[in-house]
Amino acid sequence: VEFLYCDLASMKSIRQFVQRFRAKNYPLHVLVNNAGVMLVPERKTEDGFEEHFGLNYLGHFLLTNLLLDMLKQSGTHSHNARIITVSSATHYVGKLHLNDLQSRCSYSPHGAYAQSKLALVLFTYRLQHLLTANGSHVTANVVDPGVVNTELYKHVFWVVKVVKWMTAWLFFKTPEEGASTTIYAAVSPEMEGVGGCYLYNEERTKSADVAYDEELQRRLWTESCKMVGISDEASRLP
């Protein structure tokens, strides 16, 4: 096991991480996008992005795109490289505000968090479409880990914290249980060559209807490229 530092809330840190990883000349067979914050007070990343959208979504969007060529080189016809992105059931109530992705007009911690998780699902579906169009041996899937007992809840209201403390053993998954679907997506033979799926409890399930809107997927992808400063090569594809 080797550790390389990467701050997903910093575009500079992400680019530095990718440079360090490239220098090692390792193949890249599995990428798990799992970092996140939840219900944080209104604040910005060092790049000026609203923190939920900047860290939960844009950080993973940039990291994945910068590593995409290495994933394509590492995947083969019989053993595809795999991208697994961790979203949340919260995406079902999320709304994507393309004209206000930074939640500047009216900030709601719940709304901003849900939007970032919906963006991850839209991103995954668009990414799989592009990978398929290019004939790449890479698959992209999105995972809902369920309600997991982690420090992600440190910004919730104190009453919720008390309830969580009292009922976590009954209603919350352990971190190990929460990781099971991500691991399934990363290594299961059943998922070989299978992409564009929303997975919950190691089963394919339906995501929010809006997540299947291909025009919305395209528009979010294009806008995301502008925000992180990369070229939108996908604009030349259907």
| pLDDT given at position 24 | 96
Print the domain residue range for 33.
11-235
- SS3 state at 193: coil
Which of the following is catalytic: 57, 92, 113, 184?
113
Annotation marks residue 153 as catalytic:
no
More confident residue, 90 or 164: 90
Q: Count of domains in the chain?
A: 1
Out of 80-89, 141-150, 171-180, least confident range:
171-180
The pLDDT tens digits for 150-175 are 554 444 443 443 444 445 444 555 66
In a domain, 5, yes or no: no
* Rounded average pLDDT over 9-17: 97
In a domain, 4, yes or no: no
In a domain, 172, yes or no: yes
In a domain, 15, yes or no: yes
Q: b/e for 56-83, b at 16 or more Cβ within 10 A?
A: bbbbbbbbbbbbbebbbebbeeeebbbb
In a domain, 2, yes or no: no
In a domain, 57, yes or no: yes
CATH code, 180: 3.40.50.720
Query: Which residues on adjacent β-strands are paired with residue 134?
Result: none
The pLDDT tens digits for 171-196 are 555 667 668 899 999 999 999 999 99
More confident residue, 146 or 220: 220
